Amino acid sequence: MRLTKIPLLLILLASLGLAEEGMFPMSELNRLDLRQAGFELSAGSIFNPDSLSLTGAIINIGGCTGSFISPQGLILTNHHCAFSAIQRASSAEHDYLHDGFYAATHATEFPARGFTVRITEDYVDVSRQLLDAVAAAGDFAARAKAKEQKSKELIAAAEKENPGKRVELAEMFPGKSYVLFIYTYLTDVRLVYAPPHGIGNFGGEEDNWVWPRHTGDFSLMRAYVAPDGSPAEYAPENVPYSPRIYLPIAAKGAREGDLAFILGYPGRTYRHTTSHYLEYESGLRMPWIVEWYGHQIETMEEMSKADRAVALKLASPIKGLANTWKNYQGKLLGVERLNLVERKRHEEVRLAEFIAADTARQSRSTVLPEIAAYYADISSRFESEKLMDALLRSSALLSTAYTLYQSSVEMAKPDLERDSPFMERNLTRTRERLPLSLADFYLPRERLFLGELIEKMQALPAGQQPAAIARLPKGRKLGKFLDEAFASSRLKEAAWALQLFGKPSAELLKTGDPFIKLAAGLYPDFQIQREARRAGSARLEQLMADYVDIKQAADGHDFIPDANGTLRFTYGHIRGYAPRDAVYYAPFTTLDGIIEKNRGEEPFDAPRALLDACARSVAGPYINPDLGQVPVNILYDMDTTGGNSGSPVLNGRGELIGLNFDRAFEATINDYAWSSSYSRSIGVDVRYILWVLEQVSRAHTLLQELGLQ
């Protein structure tokens, strides 16, 4: 009887609207009444820079979130976050991507180059210092420069005060508030466990952003440090990192209606924006991306059909594009469904009335018209700007050439005047990324997309084409030029490219490499574009600061800042929702649902070992008693966005009940607006993780490390 799966009480609870919008910075924790909300934890036990607190276990890893779950630095994050590491560990002989990966000993763990672990140690508000420096400068271009300079100085000073730490500046409200975050960085990260692809990516793109979901989107990694405990690059003699704290596992998992919270590093939200921004996004930018990404995905899928090696190579870029592609479609639907542009416009009419109602506020009466003018301006140059952005991304050879050319210009400057990636403190990472991006080089793809973009640029009015593009041959001759360029360029050899890093421009050009020549030709136009954008941003920043001020005054309360990749807290409940009239989604899926979806072919190709385990019905302690089954994924009404991937989902006692990895389709709109009816995020139930480790992968050493066997 399926229907008994919906516990009655919880539907009642679900209807009460207990969720609260908010990705709270640590500085806001003390303002929340956690006990009233049902927590058995205090704000201090969640974040406290001076003593043990949960956030010591919460890391940023490769743009995702992860958490320490053992005293030996074992990290739980998503399969899709470790994807490129699993992909790089795989070869035609050992297809770990398909079969899964399990290192039963430390020695067999696989170095995940390019992955770093970032732990938040503390933060300091530096708004005053930064804004004073900006205010002292002249026009917007000067202000942008002043801001950059001051940031670098503040960071340098803070890093001196905190030896061994990295410091980064976060903009909480553009033009209003700025915080320095003090981080520990660990740079030796290794892959420990990945489930088979048919578990970790069960449902693939078809189920991405979809509930009900049945994906085992988890993996295990481990952080290593030098034998003396200090952060170090990969070395065989390194030892597992001992985190100050690690997350305990909730033996019984969660039940519908349970209180839950998430700590993580949500990337970007855009809630404190105006109708003009949303119009630009939904009318121009997102439709453009949907079309261009859709074309690229289709083409790469076609290329992958014939050859498993090509498919392995293109899997990661396809996955990346497809994720955004579907997300934007969900957002476009949401913008329309929630009528967001119109709602923002109404808000702005009210805001204009509020401004006009008091003479003291009337100096702000130009804010909204100026924001409108800013978006009208960038909209008019939209196509050419977008093509320039896409150009470098479309080709690893061209982007490598461009990075090399930048390095030649930047490294000739004093350290503090350089672009951030070329400052001494970032050089290693910038250098390290070069061969990684070249590793994904696949000629037929690059040749095609680069050619298409150049042709699109050549079709623009003359004034909108970068000079270097206008100079290129056209039509068939362009094809010939590109064929020859790809044939002759030595940038395909990572070692050759690396040794050019930071060399003077003249030396670079002497190589005669066609992509270096093209990059050098593009450089002036790209610099002009960049400066113009910087000035524009500075102008917008000022306007948005005024806008937020006046809006907070009108609303009578302060806002929670938009997500910006810094540590945030969000809480809510395990809770279903009604996506459409007469349809209700329950907040747990089960093993039965895997069997139901399984087709024996991609993307619903559950591995034999999982099907056998289901048939054995050895659920062990991993059953959800309300369902009488092993739960697979869980749904909750917390406020998440990209970057929250891999975040631990914790109960009111701070124990791990799940692993966040996605949002429901209706919740892609989170980035612009929160909706109590629709904003639902998706996690892997911790019981499914343990069941897979035990019953499918027989990963006994890991279960022992987790204290479970």
Backbone torsions φ then ψ of 257, nearest 5 degrees: 90, -10
* Residue closer to its own copies, measured from CB, 496 or 584: 584
User: Applying CB under 8 A, does 343 fall inside the site for its own copies?
Assistant: no
User: Applying CB under 8 A, does 599 fall inside the site for its own copies?
Assistant: no
Cα separation, 231 vs 215, whole angstroms: 34
What the block records as the tokens of 294 is: 């859709």
Among 33, 228, 237, 581, binds its own copies (CB under 8 A): 581
Contact stretch for its own copies (CB under 8 A) within 11-19, 39-47, 121-129, 366-374 = 11-19
What the block records as the tokens of 362 is: 């009337």
* Residue closer to its own copies, measured from CB, 410 or 637: 637
Among 15, 499, 704, 709, binds its own copies (CB under 8 A): 15
CB of 239 to its own copies, least distance (A): 43
Site for its own copies in 117-176 (CB under 8 A): none
User: Applying CB under 8 A, does 203 fall inside the site for its own copies?
Assistant: no
Q: Are 696 and 195 in contact (CB under 8 A)?
A: yes
* Residue closer to its own copies, measured from CB, 8 or 107: 8
What the block records as the tokens of 99 is: 């079969």
β-bridge partners, 570: 262
* Residue closer to its own copies, measured from CB, 487 or 582: 582
Contact stretch for its own copies (CB under 8 A) within 1-9, 554-562, 566-574, 638-646 = 1-9
Count Cβ atoms below 10 Å from residue 254 Cβ, excluding itself. 27
Site string for its own copies, 290-319 (x = CB under 8 A): ------------------------------
Cα separation, 423 vs 414, whole angstroms: 9
Contact stretch for its own copies (CB under 8 A) within 52-60, 353-361, 593-601, 667-675 = 593-601
Give the catalytic positions in this structure. Answer: 80, 217, 645
User: Applying CB under 8 A, does 2 fall inside the site for its own copies?
Assistant: yes
Q: Which helix (H) or strand (E) holds 691?
A: helix 686-691
Cα separation, 376 vs 280, whole angstroms: 9
Which whole-number Å values give the CA distances from 678 to 329, 414, 458, in the listed order?
16, 51, 43
Q: Spell out the residues 6+ positions from residue 530 whose beta carbon is closer than 8 angstroms to its own.
A: none
User: Applying CB under 8 A, does 636 fall inside the site for its own copies?
Assistant: no
Cα separation, 63 vs 470, whole angstroms: 37
CB of 637 to its own copies, least distance (A): 12
Among 218, 588, 604, 622, binds its own copies (CB under 8 A): 588
Cα separation, 561 vs 64, whole angstroms: 20
Among 361, 585, 698, 708, binds its own copies (CB under 8 A): 585
* Pairing assessment for the beta strands 117-125 and 58-61 based on DSSP bridges: antiparallel
Among 590, 640, 645, 695, binds its own copies (CB under 8 A): 590
What the block records as the tokens of 286 is: 């997102």
∠ CA 132-137-139 to the nearest 5 degrees? 135
Which residue in this structure is represented by tokens 């000022």? 542
Does the CA dihedral 642-646-647-650 come out positive or negative?
positive
Among 8, 92, 107, 495, binds its own copies (CB under 8 A): 8
User: Applying CB under 8 A, does 12 fall inside the site for its own copies?
Assistant: yes
Among 584, 620, 628, 704, binds its own copies (CB under 8 A): 584
Cα separation, 386 vs 457, whole angstroms: 10
Q: Which helix (H) or strand (E) holds 181?
A: strand 177-186
User: Applying CB under 8 A, does 536 fall inside the site for its own copies?
Assistant: no
User: Applying CB under 8 A, does 601 fall inside the site for its own copies?
Assistant: no
* Residue closer to its own copies, measured from CB, 11 or 611: 11
Among 4, 108, 380, 527, binds its own copies (CB under 8 A): 4
DSSP 185-218: EE-EEEEEEE--HHHHTTTHHHHTT-SS------
* Residue closer to its own copies, measured from CB, 2 or 616: 2
User: Applying CB under 8 A, does 573 fall inside the site for its own copies?
Assistant: no
CB burial string 497-514: b at 16+ within 10 A, e below: bbebbbeebeebeebebb
Q: Are 246 and 102 in contact (CB under 8 A)?
A: no
Cα separation, 633 vs 620, whole angstroms: 18
Site for its own copies in 662-691 (CB under 8 A): 677
* Residue closer to its own copies, measured from CB, 5 or 425: 5
Site for its own copies in 207-246 (CB under 8 A): 211-212, 214
User: Applying CB under 8 A, does 360 fall inside the site for its own copies?
Assistant: no
Among 66, 587, 658, 683, binds its own copies (CB under 8 A): 587
Among 14, 297, 390, 518, binds its own copies (CB under 8 A): 14
Cα separation, 380 vs 635, whole angstroms: 42
* Residue closer to its own copies, measured from CB, 56 or 330: 330
* Residue closer to its own copies, measured from CB, 363 or 677: 677
Q: Are 30 and 216 in contact (CB under 8 A)?
A: no
Contact stretch for its own copies (CB under 8 A) within 127-135, 240-248, 476-484, 577-585 = 577-585
CB of 590 to its own copies, least distance (A): 6
User: Applying CB under 8 A, does 335 fall inside the site for its own copies?
Assistant: no
* Pairing assessment for the beta strands 656-663 and 648-651 based on DSSP bridges: antiparallel
CB of 215 to its own copies, least distance (A): 13
User: Applying CB under 8 A, does 589 fall inside the site for its own copies?
Assistant: yes
User: Applying CB under 8 A, does 342 fall inside the site for its own copies?
Assistant: no
Burial-class residue 93 by CB neighbours within 10 Å (0-12, 13-18, 19+). exposed
User: Applying CB under 8 A, does 3 fall inside the site for its own copies?
Assistant: yes
Count Cβ atoms below 10 Å from residue 30 Cβ, excluding itself. 11
* Residue closer to its own copies, measured from CB, 174 or 658: 658
Residues that bind its own copies (CB under 8 A): 1-6, 8, 11-12, 14-15, 17, 211-212, 214, 576-578, 580-590, 592-593, 596-597, 677
